[in-house]
Amino acid sequence: MMVRRPIGCYKHNWDAMQIQAPRNVLAETSIDMWTLSYADDESAKRVLLGQFQDALEANVPCMREDGTMNMVAADGSECGTAIQWCYPFYCLESVYLRHPDRAWLEELYRYLVNYIEWTLRNRRDRDGWIIAKCSWETGMDASRRFLIEQPTGGELIDFIHISELQAAMSHAASVMRRFAEVLGTISDLKRWNDLAETYAQKTRELWFQGWFYDVNARTGRRIIIPGYRPITQVGPIMCGVATPDQTREMIPKMLEYPDREPSWLEWASQVFPYAESMWMAGQREFLSQSLHAIISRVYASMDRRKAEQGEHLGWPGVSCEIWGPKGAYGGEGYGWGATLPAHIIRSLFGFREGTWPVKPWFILGPNLPEPIVSQGKDFFLRNIRYRDMVFDIHYERRAKGYLHVTITRVGSPWSKNVRVMNENGKSINFINTDARLEFDAENHALYRVQL
């Protein structure tokens, strides 16, 4: 529903973010199309590329179809969402790895170069830190972490060194290095390597007592607000910048969010880095429980048969902006409110694209939460598209803590050279019969299917 036809300034299909106030926003387009790509990768790729092709500036400023800029800071700067909000480079790489398309990547690459160069020219302070112009640009409108009163969100907060913003720049440069390797633009490799290392180091400079805290550049002091720790500061884990030791130190605080600060998990834009970071930190079973709680309340509210007075929930059957404690509410027909299927695929069924090099493989990490796996039912994920393949995944409960996995390929058999390995890289026993691949798996464990 968010993919609109070309109109006005938009010469390509574009993501409107929400139905009440349609506009193109880099962050929302990224996470919306990341999700849509699981069902319709061609449409998603066209929209992802089209937003850069139609942008009036390299930073993809938030804009309506008539060219009106929707996000203007107090100093008149026309803003787009910053590089850490909904992690555009993370989304783009995920889409590419599942559906490699060299022509698409070649066209996209030059726009991404321009986007990073614009950021370095316009959002880098004299000490080299990546900054945001205003809290709107960070996506965290009027957040307390920025220390000033913000009646609109357009007030300048460019004196804050935001921890996950440095990590996102490091990650973006790493993605660009991998894209350059695919495209053979060898002359760019050193540039991207250097940039990735520079901002990885800057991120680590913000490490203090087991967490990545922001710094107030006016005073040089860390910003630590008792009882208030933005969940988005887990971003360095998702971006591959946090060291293994740092990740281990962060885990106890990360485990506190669902119970002690659950409001952080009411927003899709914050669930995204939290879920990906928890997965990477090895906290998969806890993640499955947290997602199950969100999914249960959101889908129960969307599936209800009556719109009650006074409940302040969204209309049944429509995705909403906020995944609240009683269900979905806020802006109705909001794109990122429909991104839960991506988390179900990635973090409950545990199907994740293989990373570089480009050789075909994928991760399967069954991660079913106990409240549903204990019911003894079977679980199906149908019509997964991965590169040139289509397959179904079937989980059948066996002994406690174990599942029988069947991956059925549609249209052609599995190669006889396929391998299945556990987390330690050791091959495990499996059955490869024509189009069916079968093996026994432990719930919450990881398996690599090498094609």
Q: Domain coordinates of the chain in residue numbers?
A: 3-348, 361-450
Query: C-alpha angle with apex 414: 412 to 417, nearest 5 degrees?
Result: 145
Q: d(Cα 363, Cα 366) in Å, to the nearest integer?
A: 10
Q: Are 239 and 168 in contact (CB under 8 A)?
A: yes
Write the burial class of residue 305 (CB in 10 Å: 0-12 exposed, 13-18 middle, 19+ buried). exposed
Closest by CA position to 382, among listed 100, 42, 39: 39
pLDDT of residue 315: 87
Q: Which mean pLDDT values do the consecutive 10-residue runs of the chain (451 residues) have?
A: 94 94 95 97 97 96 95 94 97 96 97 98 97 95 91 93 97 97 94 98 97 96 94 97 97 96 95 98 97 95 82 87 93 94 97 85 95 86 94 92 94 90 94 93 96 87
What the block records as the tokens of 145 is 């972490």
Backbone angles phi, psi at 257, to 5 degrees: -60, -50
pLDDT of residue 310: 65
In sign, the C-alpha dihedral spanning 34, 154, 158, 68 is positive
Q: d(Cα 170, Cα 246) in Å, to the nearest integer?
A: 17
Backbone angles phi, psi at 224, to 5 degrees: -125, 110
> 1.50.10.10, 1.10.10.1800, 3.40.1410.10, 3.40.50.300: which CATH number matches 3-348?
1.50.10.10
Q: Are strands 221-222 and 215-216 parallel, antiparallel or unpaired?
A: antiparallel
Closest by CA position to 129, among listed 218, 240, 211, 30: 218
Q: d(Cα 242, Cα 342) in Å, to the nearest integer?
A: 24
- pTM above threshold 0.85: yes
Closest by CA position to 438, among listed 414, 425, 227: 414
pLDDT of residue 434: 84
Element (H, E) at 29: helix 26-36
pLDDT of residue 286: 97
Q: d(Cα 281, Cα 275) in Å, to the nearest integer?
A: 10
3-state secondary structure of 72: strand
Cα distances (angstroms) measured from residue 317 to each of 38, 168, 263: 21, 34, 23
Q: Are 157 and 210 in contact (CB under 8 A)?
A: no
Q: d(Cα 30, Cα 336) in Å, to the nearest integer?
A: 10
Q: Are 11 and 53 in contact (CB under 8 A)?
A: yes
